[in-house]
Amino acid sequence: MEGRCSTPELLPHTCAYYTPPLVSVKRLAMNARMPLWSPLKVEYALRRLMCEPAIPRVEGACMTNKPRAPHTTYLGIVVFVGGLVSLGIELAASRLLAPFFGTSQLVWMNLIGLILLYLSAGYWLGGRWADRSPHLTTLLLILVAAGVSVALVPVLATPLLHNVQTWLVNYESAWLIGSFLGVLLLFALPMTLLGCVSPFAVRLATADVRESGRVAGRLFALSTIGSFLGTFLPVLLLIPLMGTRATFFTFSASLFAVTLPGFWLVRRRLLIAVPLAGMVLVGWLWWTVQASPIKPHANLLYETESAYQYIRVLEDADGMRYLELNEGVGTHSIYHPERLFTQRLWDYFVALPAFAAQPKPLDEPRSWGIIGLAGGTAARLITATYGPDPITGVELDPKVVDVARTYFAMNMPNLDVVVLDGRAWLAQTPNTYDLLIVDAYRQPYIPFELTTVEFFQAARRHLTPDGVIAVNVAHGEDERLVDALAATMQTVFPTVYRMPVPHTYNTFLIGTVRPTTPEQVSANSAMFAPLLPAHLVQWVQQARLAPHTNAQVLTDDHAPVEYLVDWLIVREGVRLNR
């Protein structure tokens, strides 16, 4: 007679229990009078889905000529979900850290390094755990514990990361130390538990050592396919549509959900209440946490998340609004409804026409291109100063454009907004411009592709014969990045000016298509004096050329922008902490 093992967590050759044959279960399950939700019909469906093997009944043991582990299909589903959640959490974790510590390579270094360490610990622990307790119930309880720990991550993240950031506020290297502590405290438990899943599943699925390689290869392939899906799912779907915290809750719920059929299969049906309670907990936490701000601030006016970054708008008591991205170290735009010039760095973009070899008359329109439009502060100042000059503003993040239109009055009719990467825009636009501004940042870096010889060659092709390009470079006391960018621009433009912005750690590097001199630029300032505030006229009159140095010329093949900025952060941190 054909039989079935009723205790699948025991290997087939040690099972001494017997359940009715599948054909008998099928005959009863197909009874038309029996409701669809009856336990017998559910059992039949699950046993068919999980391909429960036929094992002949032998007194005291269940033996086959070729042993097969129970529920191999179900174990494949488990490792698939485990792989998906593991990599999905790694990508979503960067979004939890971004509002507090940014997304620099130093932050990614901590995130990837520590998560790999946790997974390694999980692989080791899971293998030992499986040998000591080779039961499917144990694996299911590990998944439940992982689901709980994942659900707690977004709940604990804001207070924990806020306290770490406050503690490190006076440290220049806060990004490095804070992100390390954040990953250490938030993700050690969930990632270690998820690391236990694959080796545990391999142990349960291996009934014959002669097929252990095939079993391990199959399960690890399924886990990797899950990780492949986990790479795209949070980035393209979950985070843009629901946000980072909801993404974590979704992953937690999926871990609870995958255990439900498992508890049914091992006939621990009372334990089904555990993942069900976990899913109720997830729903309650989701509802509770979503009502609280991502990053609390006394002056918070608005915040949101996009596919690229965390975005928030602050408004002070004076009515000035500030656009901040990710950790908020730098302000990307400002706006006041009754004030234009503020003696901040955006004022100085308005003075760029004075650097042209032959500036156009004041009543003649100039064409402007802005890479890194953000909240449109520069575009608004240009329009207010020169009238409806045609401006093309390039911004990568469409949500930043929406925020700018809503909170920063970026509604000038002469502004044409292009949502695209700056380098890609240069490659496809047929237009030429009198003035080109590069003010793009992925904090704390200028995107390296906007700093190279090839980029500036492309930019020059899109400038008019009297065209001017200006690059805003943020730096500390270490100005090696400024030196490298100046040396790079000097290979493309005959004249490059190095113009520090007063009262900031910003320097404008200004290149001209035709050769000019500081004296010529200073003389041009008189032409623009009727339009420009006094501090801008004075700044133009102090024009100075960038000195020629032995600094590295940046190319698409070798542009260590991140390296220079990372060392600047570390060196500043060491200097200030002495």
- Considering only the C-alpha atoms of the chain, give the largest distance between any 2 of them, rounded to a whole number of Å: 106
CA distances in angstroms from 3 to 19, 26, 57, 65, 108, listed in the order given: 6, 13, 6, 15, 53
Tell me whether residue 293 is annotated as binding.
Answer: no
Give the C-alpha separation, 78 to 219, whole Å: 9
Tell me whether residue 421 is annotated as binding.
Answer: yes
Residue 235: other Cβ atoms inside 10 A: 17
CA angle 68, 71, 74 (to 5 degrees): 140
N-terminal to C-terminal alpha carbon distance within the chain: 81
β 391-395/415-419 pair status: parallel
The two structure tokens encoding residue 431: 């237009």
β 2-3/55-58 pair status: antiparallel
Tell me whether residue 309 is annotated as binding.
Answer: yes
| Angle between the N-to-C axes of helices 136-167 and 72-101, in degrees from 0 to 180, rounded to the nearest 10 | 0
Give the C-alpha separation, 288 to 107, whole Å: 28
Tell me whether residue 70 is annotated as binding.
Answer: no
Please count the CA atoms within 13 angstroms of the CA of 166 that sit on its side-chain side.
Answer: 9
Residue 393: other Cβ atoms inside 10 A: 24
DSSP state letters, 411-468: --TTEEEEES-HHHHHHH----EEEEEE---BTTB--GGGSSHHHHHHHHHTEEEEEE
At 304, is the secondary structure helix, strand, or coil?
A: strand
Q: Name the residue with tokens 């100075």.
A: 544
Residue 406: other Cβ atoms inside 10 A: 12
Active site residues: 439
Annotated binding residues for S-methyl-5'-thioadenosine, written as ranges, equal 309, 395, 421-422, 447
Known binding-site residues equal 309, 395, 421-422, 447
